[in-house]
Structure 1
């Protein structure tokens, strides 16, 4: 088994373990120990650090992965590629840090209601950003070297365990909340040290700068690709983090904490789609290479049906069992119930519209993806400015739903208009009808004294009705094939 296969297998295992651990920690454990304002503060620091680091990096993490094959020469220290990869973003960090420090009065004015809470951690956000920047660059370097499993383990498992450990120390009174925040920031620095040690261990820590690095590929080309990548990744990060940041600024940090938990609960709906996208990305690239548009159109329809099938089932399970999920947390977090339902609808619609974004980004028209992502980021900001002051966290959720649905419809139309393919068949509305029937019957289940028993009873009704109607109507051929295979194996 080659290094790529070994690393891929390890990454898959780590990824799924990390997803489970991440959902447990961010949704079930941290909200039990931390008050909404405290969770809102740590989420805000994390969001600010991520955006800060992305601007400073100038897209060089992606540049490193894309162009490293031209520099690969272990005996020659890869022509000094690592110092170049880290050095340019560090210059960017100094520039952004200067702007960040000069802009302190403006940023504190934005968070006027929570300025006294955030002020002690203003500089720590910059330290957090430095750790985030260095980790992303070293991670990109390791990916280019085909050593990805260790960094995935650090990010997906160890970091979450360390944060959980800090929360437990806080809950036991060993750490004050201030101490927990410093722990939360510092563990990211530990990851940077561990990655550096790993590079030293595998003999790839080549810190000596070389002038030859400037002659392998034109620097202007690297900067140009970096600028395009920066815009694309920044738009994606704004889409992911802006809701929470604007809720914290326009309402308060407690509302940001409540919204953040609601957002985390809804992300469970995106896990199957993310897993599918990892497989879909190289397949779609291959379809384009072969110019097999009929095959791509068929794949588009099948993946959309699968996303809709799984997404509707998960949406029912989460939406109808929110009382059980929130029973693990402090009571204040349940204020986000309606927000969860709205965000679930947004993520479900994203799944129903299929892999249109991947089709676009792997196509010759890939630059249009930046236009759609930038439009989504801008629309999200504008709607948040309008709706959050009036409706609070509900306004943020409505803004996210409206922006996501609008851009997804536009992207789906663009793929249909440009490439003459669309993902919908008669099975999609039938799945939605079956979802409505199963959801209605489960909703009629009376609420029992025990949230656990209520959850089990509703989940049983959902599973029986939903899967039964899917099989009877023949809505999903893949499920029928799987069912017949299981019957044959069991001897029925």
Structure 2
């Protein structure tokens, strides 16, 4: 797969230099994101699916999804409130007016209420699962609340660090350290040093370790201000904070539903084994989202500046260029992953290959999301930002509704079809809304050209016959895809930044 992923950095690097806006934290986050991608790929393909049965991974995935939704509701949007309002409280000498205890205190009260509801709803939740799966999930049901507590505390401390402009360390913990610890637990399980029960507790416990490490980091930088202060209630009207929290709760909850509801619904309407297979397929497809996320981290502050300066012409040009680069990177990665699925699945237990069609559908969904560009970020940084909540809530409801309709008929494939249909529908609607509201759209003549190049490179890769081992076939196929795709991109001038970079290299080398 190395050949498949190699050009990603060059495309992103060219965007970084052409725009000239990367700050130190952003660069570190980008590097961490790619290292996390590599670790995630290793975890997804080389370790977890080799050592664990689909039902076992379905259990841990379901616990993680339930814990995330639980934590989102308990937080009441205070992670976003912390980032939004912290500048008004900032005063290191007096402990930021007791902001950290306030930021943690309200969500912890919400967690207490949610825990009562969660435990009281135990029969209802377990009733959605078949008898064997319900019995397995029941064993760890209370641990799900512990998992949610760790998730809640981490998200709040992470938000506090973002408000302090310390983002790289928490990214390192989430993208690197957590994955390493989970891999370590899996290796202990494979060596017989941990039972599966022990691994589940390890899986939950390492999230608690991250919370402790994050708290230690805050102590190290002198920002762990635990003392509550009455002054925190006077800096900004409390009603304003709760109003903002309620608004962002809907948005964050909708986002979590979009991310995690598939695993929960596949597990409840099919079984935990299907949820495990779907989860692995979902993780494989996430490789396609990493470049877009990295570009979006760069784009967010730039778009805010464009709005501040009312430079809609510059924003429209930026919109088109980033959409083109997202399309270039996304199409290339989609080819590399989609045409090498036989190799990827050869690294796992055979039953996981049932998710092949799911991967292809999810790749299509993520590719379309990337190609439609920055519509969501443009909307959320615009004066009409509240409409972004309407689109996110609509997307969440659409996914849930389509899952209810399609999973009973198509199983886990139905969840993937629902994801594609929902993402395409909402992104078309959001792109249309941005166009109608601000007279800008992301498409140029280069987008259909990129799709044509993708089709040509895909056909060339597909025609490569199996040669020896799956590994050798993957290397040959990836080389063909890279040569055809890269050659056509350079020959047609589809990526001017890449052409300029190549010309600079030729000049320096005297070619």
- TM-score, normalized by length of structure 2? 0.93
Tell whether 2:95 aligns with 1:86: no
Q: Match of 2:274? A: 255
What CA distance in whole angstroms lies between the structure 1 residues aligned with 2:444 and 2:30?
Answer: 32
Q: Greater shift after overlay, 190-199 or 267-276?
A: 190-199
Unaligned runs of 5+ residues in structure 1 are none
Secondary structure of the structure 1 residue equivalent to 2:140: helix
Q: 1:71 aligns with which of 89, 98, 106?
A: 89
Whole-angstrom CA distance in 1 between matches of 2:288 and 2:55: 26
Matched, 1:23 2:44: no
> Do the aligned partners of 2:70 and 2:148 also contact (CA within 8 Å) in 1?
yes
- State which of 339, 343, 349 in structure 1 corresponds to 2:362: 343
Match of 1:282 in 2: 301
Give yes or no for the alignment of 1:49 onto 2:101.
Answer: no
Does 2:471 align with 1:456?
no
- Structure 2, unaligned stretches of length 5 or more? 1-21
8 A contact 1:471–1:479 mirrored in 2: yes
What is the aligned counterpart of 1:305 among 313, 317, 324? Answer: 324
How far did 1:145 drift? 2.4
Shift of 1:367: 0.6
Name the count of aligned residue pairs.
Answer: 489
More deviation, 142-151/257-266: 142-151
Deviation at 1:325, TM superposition (A): 0.9
Instruction: Confirm or deny: 8 A CA contact 1:65 1:140 kept in the other structure.
Output: yes
Report how far residue 429 of structure 1 moved: 1.0
1:295 aligns with 2:314: yes
Distance 1:6 1:430, change over 3 A: closer
TM-aligned CA deviation for residue 5 of structure 1: 5.5
Measure, in 1, the Cα distance between the counterparts of 2:156 and 2:393. 24
User: Counterpart of 1:234?
Assistant: 253
Q: CA deviation at 1:258?
A: 0.5
Structure scoring higher RCO (CA < 8 A, sep ≥ 6) equals: 2
Looking at structure 2, the residues matched to 382 and 426 of structure 1 have their Cα atoms a distance apart, in angstroms, of: 36
Instruction: Provide the C-alpha distance between the structure 2 equivalents of 1:466 and 1:448, rounded to a whole number of angstroms.
Output: 21
Deviates more, 1:162-171 or 1:208-217: 208-217
| Equivalent residue number for residue 475 of structure 1 | 494
How many angstroms apart in 2 are the aligned matches of 1:230 and 1:28?
Answer: 36
| Secondary structure of 2:43's aligned partner | helix
- Corresponding position: 1:423 with 2:442: yes
Q: Secondary structure at the match of 1:110?
A: coil
Q: Which moved more, 1:86-95 or 1:303-312?
A: 303-312
- Tell me how far 1:473 sits from its aligned partner: 2.3
Q: Residues 87-236 of structure 1: matches in 2 within 5 Å?
A: 87-113=105-131, 114-236=133-255
State yes or no: 1:266 paired with 2:321. Answer: no
TM-fit CA distance, 1:382: 0.5
1:443 to 455, 458, 462: 462
SS of equivalent to 1:286: helix
- Matched-pair contact (CA < 8 Å) for 2:78–2:103: yes
* Whole-angstrom distance in 2 between the partners of 1:328 and 1:119: 31
> Are 2:377 and 1:358 equivalent residues in the alignment?
yes
Change (3 A) 1:157 1:348: same
- 2:390 corresponding residue in structure 1: 371
**Per-residue deviation, 1:144:** 2.1
Check conservation: 1:244, 1:259, Cα contact below 8 A: yes
Of residues 450-459 and 147-156 in structure 1, the stretch that sits farther from structure 2 once superposed is 147-156
